[in-house]
Amino acid sequence: MGQRPSSLTPLHGGCIAEVWRARMPDGAELAIKHDPSDTPRLDIEEAMLGALRARTPLPVPEVIACTPRVLALGYVPNDGVRSAEGERAFGHLLAEAHAGAPADAFGFEYDTLIGPLDQPNGRMERWADFWRTRRLIPMATGAHDAGGISDRTLDRVHSVCERLDGILDAGSRPALIHGDLWSGNILWHRGRVAAVIDPGAYDAHPDAELAFIDWMGGMGPAFSDAYRSAVPIDPVAWARRRDAHVLYPMLVHARLFGRGYEPGLITVLDRLGA
């Protein structure tokens, strides 16, 4: 960019990068991410942000400059102040995003990331096949190898995978989802959502996004009511679909953070009859 920041202030970061708020000599404010690892991949985050900006109405930060190791974004003011009205507005906005970004198949043009973990995205035409072979089985295997789940829990995840055709909705077109909408990735300002950050984006069934939000608690009832006013969801069928989808973020957490997430996984597997 040809400029040296006038000041740098550390911000809360995620699992991958250090994050700084930078004031530039020309008065611009940036959020600068730095990946100090041996295999920096912030260019993947830049590409995901670009896809969300191009294909959805979701508010995402402007990308100013990017290399695999450094990502400079326009700084988004945020004060953390939430409101029910802001949740309702975001519910309508997310429903619009899911409806307006269809794709021909589930997956993506390239593999992406969920936090620091790989997300394989080879295209598949059927959602149950994609969820089984691109999400649940690879992540369950990784969680098991990392010591996050037992042999028995791994077997039970495989049992659910064998029955996904009878659980998941087969009738929806693939939609571009953010993929990692927990509260830390939703920036609030003056009661409205100012931006969504740190995506794990790919073309998915919208249920994957909704189940993730429901499990992680990033939004409240006003959001859910607004989304469902645009996209009616049968509550009985949704309960089983939700459980089949939350297995993935639970396995992600078991792989990253260990056995503390296994009891919750077992509860969900019990409800699914595995």
The CATH number covering residue 43 comes to 3.30.200.20
- Co-location of 247 and 118 in the same domain: yes
Which parts of the chain sit beneath pLDDT 70? Answer: 13-15
Is 99 a domain residue? yes
Instruction: Give yes or no for a contact between 253 and 247, defined as CB atoms under 8 angstroms apart.
Output: no
Separation of alpha carbons 141 and 158, rounded Å: 10
> CATH number of the domain that 229 lies in?
3.90.1200.10
Angle 185-261-236 (CA atoms, 0-180°, nearest 5)? 80
Q: For residues 92 and 127, state if they share a domain.
A: yes
Confirm whether 134 is domain-assigned: yes
Calculate what percentage of the chain has a pLDDT beyond 90: 86
pLDDT value at position 100? 84
Tokens of 228: 């469902």
Dihedral (CA of 105, 243, 136, 213) sign: positive
End of a domain among 25, 46, 74? Answer: 74
Q: Are 50 and 112 within one domain?
A: no
CA 171 to chain centre: 22
Work out the angle between the directed axes of helices 262-271 and 235-257 (0-180°, nearest 10): 150
Residue 1 domain flag: no
Does residue 2 lie within any of the structural domains? no
pLDDT of residue 13: 66
Chain segment 37-68, per-residue pLDDT in tens: 899 999 999 999 999 999 999 999 999 999 99
Q: Which of 74, 100, 127 is the last residue of a domain?
A: 74
Q: Token pair for residue 44?
A: 């993947």
Indicate whether 14 and 65 sit together in one domain.
yes
* pLDDT for the residue 232: 85
Q: Which amino acid, 94?
A: L
Q: Is residue 79 part of a domain?
A: no
Same domain, 156 and 227: yes
pTM above 0.85, yes or no: yes
User: How high is the pLDDT of residue 14?
Assistant: 59
Is 193 within the bounds of a domain?
yes
Encode pLDDT of 181-200 as tens digits.
999 999 999 999 999 999 99
| 106 and 30 within one domain | no
115 and 44 part of one domain: no
- Same domain? 168 vs 59: no
Domain boundary among 74, 98, 125: 74
- Measure the CA angle with vertex 186, ends 141 and 138; round to 5°: 10
Sign of CA dihedral 201, 220, 262, 268: negative
- For residue 249, being part of any structural domain is answered with yes
Count how many domains the chain has: 2
Residue 186 and residue 207 share a domain: yes
In a domain, 136, yes or no: yes
- H helix runs in the chain, sequence order: 42-55, 84-100, 127-130, 137-145, 151-162, 206-216, 221-230, 235-257, 262-271
Same domain? 62 vs 192: no
Same domain, 123 and 171: yes
**65 plus 144 within the same structural domain:** no
Domain of 44, in residue numbers: 7-74
